[in-house]
Chain A
Amino acid sequence: MFGAEFPSPVLLASGTCGYGQEYADLIPLDEIGGLVTKAVSLEPRPGNPPHRVAETPGGMINAIGLENPGLRGFIAEKLPWLREHLRRAQVFVNVVGHSAEDFAAVVRGLDGEDGFLGYEINVSCPNVKGGTMFGTDERALADLVTRLRGCTERPLVIKLTPNVPDVGDFARICEEAGADGLSAINTFPGMVVDIGRREPLIGNRSGGVSGPAILPMGVYATWRARQTCGLPIMGIGGIRNAEDALQYILAGACLVQVGTASFVDPGAAVDVHEGISKFLAANGVARLEDLVGALRSRPGTGPAIPAG
């Protein structure tokens, strides 16, 4: 997968594991599949005012504002630790930008460094030139992926946004533009109102909703992407346990990412892997690959049309 060995099919999702070091004392990082770093932008970003997070039914909402030390800070302060401490776990660097130039500059700046496998491109952010999100604008997304493909030969994974009519269309665009894989799916836009103050609870007013509440939407997005393209997919959204992860795998994901669940239990990613192994043994499945996209069709149901 992506030209590398993954010790486990379960990775830690971007934004929920920092740059790895924070979890080193709590879980055996080299026994998980790997991690996707907190987003890295060209310049440092201070992030949003509080509140940045709040719990919601079955999950949480966050608007951190992509706080990060920037490309140079990441290379100087964060990447050395990853390079020195992770032997088997695979690292994807999550990259964010407000223009295609920004994204390309980060990828070019990182590409000569050791200590990571590939990139996960966060297209759920506004394009200052286009006025829309890269991930919701077919043309902007195609141009961005094409441009980044020209900057690197490392695995290039695009993290899709669910905020589109049909994720399948955007998955196909990524494949045609030269991406190596997809992460499905990013958070859903949401809002929480403080009824006492009659204000949005979150400092940024709106934020991204994650956690078990979005599990079926993530599974659906994975299934749609699998129908329209042949790229390997990392399934993400609301995974708490092996059963949740296996839904993604049957829908078409070959790896999964655990995010919000790590906040609930830092050992969640380890437990999900153990649970998957038990399921395979109990069901006489030799390899996880045998389950990837192995969804059986149900007779008597209609054509696979986009929901909504």
Chain B
Amino acid sequence: MLSAGSDVAVGRATPVSRRAALLSTRLVARDTWWQEFDCPDIAAAALPGQFVMLGVGLDEPGAWLLPRPFSVGWTGPGGEVGILLRAYGQGTRALARLEVGQTALLLGPLGRPFDTAGADVECVAGGVGLAPFIFLAAREAAAGRRVRLIYGERDAGAVFDPALIARLTDHDPELFTEDGSAGRKGLVTAGLDPASRALLLGCGPTPLLRALAAFAREHGRRLQVSVEEHMGCGIGTCQGCVVRGADGRWVKACIEGSVFPAEELDWGAI
């Protein structure tokens, strides 16, 4: 019923709203699920770094209604859209309880993607900030290229099943945990190589993004970050998801981001 038209943002597909069936769901870490939805329109159009608004829609009588932004974590050849979902509160728990065959509403693909254009790429992921890099690494592997994938979690229990990452992306991430219970001990930023000139991509908690911005500044590295802010609509109407731009403006994470070159943001205010 919902129609598509032209998009004002060059290179990005027009978002569509689709009710999509859950094809598979599996617990991949503590409170963390990998879900794949049957959504060919979005799978065909999405680019790494873009996101979808995922919600249960208006038919559910529950108290938690609003859709939430999730990075597109993967797209499959059969039109699957993969989502990495960590349950933080009641709304995300309701999404986590979806069973195979049940449907959810997906709106996407949304937002500005990563712009990697042939560059050597190092992806730095904190927690479920891994999701867009699964998609990116899978795309790069399919094109015969490699990326460096550095992935940090608090402890072993939070780590996304490495075998599934390998199957989806054909990459083995370099793993860090804060307590050393899996991979190397330390923050994910310990994996940064000051001598590298590769394009840095970051996604994860704000302190990680801040540390990456400082590192990039210090070493003259190009950096793009995917930021997160509370979001209402995902398409720029509610003006809820703002972050402070380097020019002093409030910029909307949903349509001006969610991926920003680091120099477009005011890191003192983020």
Contacts and interface: CB of A to CB of B under 8 A. Distances in A.
A51 B243 CA distance: 9
Given A25-B6, A51-B229, 20 more contacts: A22-B235, A22-B237, A23-B235, A38-B239, A46-B249, A50-B242, A53-B230, A53-B231, A53-B240, A53-B241, A62-B240, A64-B239, A67-B250, A212-B65, A263-B238, A264-B57, A264-B58, A264-B66, A267-B2, A267-B17
A77 B65 CA distance: 33
Given A26-B15, A59-B65, A266-B17, A51 B230 contact: yes
B236 A264 contact: no
B64 interface: yes
A57 interface: yes
B3 A25 contact: yes
Interface of B: 1-8, 14-17, 55, 57-58, 63-67, 91, 105, 107, 229-233, 235-244, 249-250
Contacts of B237: 16-18, 22-23, 38, 262
Interface in A10-65: 15-18, 21-28, 38, 46-47, 49-55, 57-60, 62, 64
Which residue of B6, B15, B57, B230 has the most chain A CB atoms within 10 A of its CB atom? B230
Q: Interface residues of A toward B: which range?
A: 35 or more
Q: Is the interface of A mostly helix, strand, loop or mixed?
A: loop
B58 A240 contact: yes
Contacts of A67: 239, 242, 250
B63 A18 contact: no
Given A59-B65, A264-B66, A264-B105, A16 B250 contact: no
Interface of A: 15-18, 21-28, 38, 46-47, 49-55, 57-60, 62, 64, 67, 211-212, 240-241, 260-268, 270-271
Contact of B57 (A17, A25, A26, A265): A265
A62 B242 contact: no
B3 A28 contact: yes
Contacts of A46: 249-250
A49 B6 CA distance: 32
A239 to B, nearest CB: 10
